[in-house]
A and B are shown apart, each in its own frame.
Chain A
Amino acid sequence: GAVVSQHPSWVICKSGTSVKIECRSLDFQATTMFWYRQFPKQSLMLMATSNEGSKATYEQGVEKDKFLINHASLTLSTLTVTSAHPEDSSFYICSGIELLAKNIQYFGAGTRLSVL
């Protein structure tokens, strides 16, 4: 099956710094990528949808200036958490949809962000 690589898998940062998370589709072209956030013992909540070459669409309640998303190519999307605070600590997961399989999302393994 299609593979999505997410990096880093775990990051610890100081409050006020910015953190970039990469999401790469390794063996397919992802026209659309999604970013989710998962709180402990809760489900995945969609943060934003990004289409290659265009601005991301954010879900209600998600600050676009805080969570910067860039989808510059068909195989790479990045999420930058700007000026991170402890409340941003969470598990962030990305997924990609293959061009020819538009209804199926392939997920990365996630990034655990801890903000001190």
Chain B
Amino acid sequence: AQSVSQHNHHVILSEAASLELGCNYSYGGTVNLFWYVQYPGQHLQLLLKYFSGDPLVKGIKGFEAEFIKSKFSFNLRKPSVQWSDTAEYFCAVTLTGGGNKLTFGTGTQLKVEL
């Protein structure tokens, strides 16, 4: 069965620090990749997605992610975080032809300190 691993469960950064959150998936077929964010008390929101094409995708709020097929990875990055980026971040995968079923990673809780 497919799985998604997020290795960092809790990350604490100071404002203006750079961010990279790891995401690896285990599946040999064609995948669609997503990063969702959940701000405190709010619903999951889509940050960015990769279906095909340029493996470097840019999302909202200055986030980007790079799909490296050989490493089965889709790491999330932001050059300079803000206090308002404090949230939980989920990596997720669907399989092409898999009925749009999302498999989520366990999430990374990011805290940005002033």
- Do residues A93 and B32 form an inter-chain contact, with CB atoms below 8 A? no
- Do residues B102 and A103 form an inter-chain contact, with CB atoms below 8 A? no
Residue count of chain B within 8 Å CB distance of chain A: 20
**CB of A81 closer than 8 Å to a CB of B:** no
Chain B residues with a Cβ under 8 A of chain A = 32, 36, 42-46, 49, 51, 90, 94, 99-107
- Do residues B42 and A46 form an inter-chain contact, with CB atoms below 8 A? no
CA distance A4 to B42 in the complex (A): 12
Smallest distance from the beta carbon of B78 to chain A beta carbons, Å? Answer: 20
Chain A residues with a Cβ under 8 A of chain B = 1, 4, 6, 32, 34, 42-46, 49, 93, 95, 97, 102-110
Contacts of B42 in A (CB 8 A): 109
Smallest distance from the beta carbon of B25 to chain A beta carbons, Å? Answer: 13
- Do residues A103 and B100 form an inter-chain contact, with CB atoms below 8 A? yes
CB contact between B49 and one of A42, A95, A104, A108 (< 8 Å): that residue: A104
Smallest distance from the beta carbon of B48 to chain A beta carbons, Å? Answer: 11
Contacts of A110 in B (CB 8 A): 43
- Do residues A104 and B106 form an inter-chain contact, with CB atoms below 8 A? no
- Do residues B44 and A43 form an inter-chain contact, with CB atoms below 8 A? no
CA distance A49 to B100 in the complex (A): 9
- Do residues A93 and B44 form an inter-chain contact, with CB atoms below 8 A? yes
A102-B102 contact, Cβ under 8 Å, with A44-B90, A109-B42: no
